[in-house]
Structure 1
Amino acid sequence: MNKKFILLLVVLIISLFGCSSNSSSSNDDFPSKTIEITVPWSAGGSSDQTARALAEAMSDVTDQNVVVVNKEGAGGTIATSEMATQQPDAHKILFDAVGVFTTQPHMQDVQYSIDDFRPVKGLTYEPIVLLVNSDSPWETLDDLIADKGERITYAHSGAGGLPDLAQAAFLDQAGIEAESVAYEGQNPAVSALLGGHVDTVAAHPGAIMQHVDSGDLRILGVFSPERYEDLPDVPTFKEKGFPIDMSVWKFLLVSKETSDKELNKLTEIVEKAMESQKYKDFLKTANLTPEEISGEEISERLEKQYKEHGDVIDKMGLSKK
């Protein structure tokens, strides 16, 4: 009887050890299948292009394929909501942007928060600049600040977006009367300024530098805490007494249920991919600046800007309350 008991105990221990070993190896083997990066916007935009460049670089780092899936709609909230409630799988990554967590929740009911995710890595930073037509009487930002004349019109790519909020915050603080004019996208808004239909527009440098270089448009200021290295002569609004930070930065997220081991391995893959020369060349060509912040820094910055952006949205009367 004792021998049978001892034999049964040995079998049980071996069985338990085998299960534990299998569980550990499943994490050690990550990634074990295709990695999918979901982009909450349509194909062809800067987010999509960045995700595809990163996916290609990640594929070179790991033995698994890395693909991009576009799920656009509602300012990025549809895909983000789906990812927040999906079955936990570290092979499914979300490529997201600051506004999805700091502006959209103030303007509509959303089914997610940053607590539903584990941030992986910061990716890129895109400043927003304020532009006028070359025919404008405002040669500098100081000229615009000092001019308290007629009501002006400002163009942007959509109500409640960061280009809209950036201009609204500045014009309000400067005491300049202005009317918001929304367009379906950044390019139509820039075209409106080129055509002389509006007085100012806020946009990303990558979309307007050709018009600046040609002399058709003029940059007055940048909505970032520090000067943009590619535009060293352009002052920040903070320098002029308007502490406004409306730059766009993007990052990767995974399910909150992702294990430490999988998160660490994924972070390692992403970091190696970001060091590839091909990816760096893409960023340079696309006028994008690397924003290599940690997952902890992502959460802290989102919480801070959630309040800052919410204050502007409330003042503009765009809050869902």
Structure 2
Amino acid sequence: MYDIIGDIHGQASMLKDLLKSMGYKVQKGVYKHESRKAVFLGDFINRGPEILETVRTVRAMVETGNALAILGNHELNAIIFELKDKAGKPLFKRLLKYRMPLTQTFKEFVHIPDEYKSHIKWMRTLPMFLELDGIRIVHACWDEQSIEIVRNNYTEGRLKKSVLKQISKNSNEVSKAFWQTCKGVDFKLPNDLLVYDETGQAHRRFRTKWWLNPKGMKFQDLSLESRFDLPAYTIPPEISGERIPYGEDEPIVFFGHYCLKNGDNIFTPNLCCLDSCVSRKGKLAAYRWSGEKKLIPENIVK
């Protein structure tokens, strides 16, 4: 069965310790298990001190059939950042906001650019989601409409440049579907409402519990992993919008992305977030799934 592993963000030592604790052993330089397969939820690059070793470890496991992996938003950003035109020049403006998260990754690969290019090419072959034996794997949000659009735009086993161009423009249904799948659903606050985090920085949007219908909810109850306090009053119906909630009879969804340093990883019997915030001194988390229809808290390993 499957061991689903959350966001690694360059913490190769944590990853290896976790794999060993679950019975994986190194054979010919690759971590393997006699009867189980690892599934990586994306975001294995950026932030941490061992990005190169993390990518090598994950890729080796995937290419030898000992693991599966999907793209996170950090990998998708890196892929788009590296797109070139026929003359070998960057296809898009390399804005600072896209470059900054990649700084640590660039630093580790500065002396081996050809290997970095190889990893980017490999990442383009990774899917945005998986459906495995009755469970669903996605980086941030499982929305049926978005999943269908993503499915239709992942062809010939890779993300084509024409699709990546659409994703980068951020102004079409393809772009919206891809970013929602790997970044979730943000709620945009009204223009006359600002919230501030602990550093004093103002925010106009926050991450939401995508599986809920926001209608009739309070701002703070809809929020997921916000680093700032939100109003305790009900969201006005004029701005709340509506979503189809993720049903309790739907398959289990494993996802990452939300940096849950505190609290439980299991939200409902069929929703589990495995990003335990390694980039903020948290622990790398995994769920050992063995065919159950409802999530079992004891199956989480950290």
TM over 0.5: no
Which protein has the larger Cα radius of gyration, Structure 1 or Structure 2?
Answer: 1
TM-score by length of 1: 0.26
TM-score by length of 2: 0.28
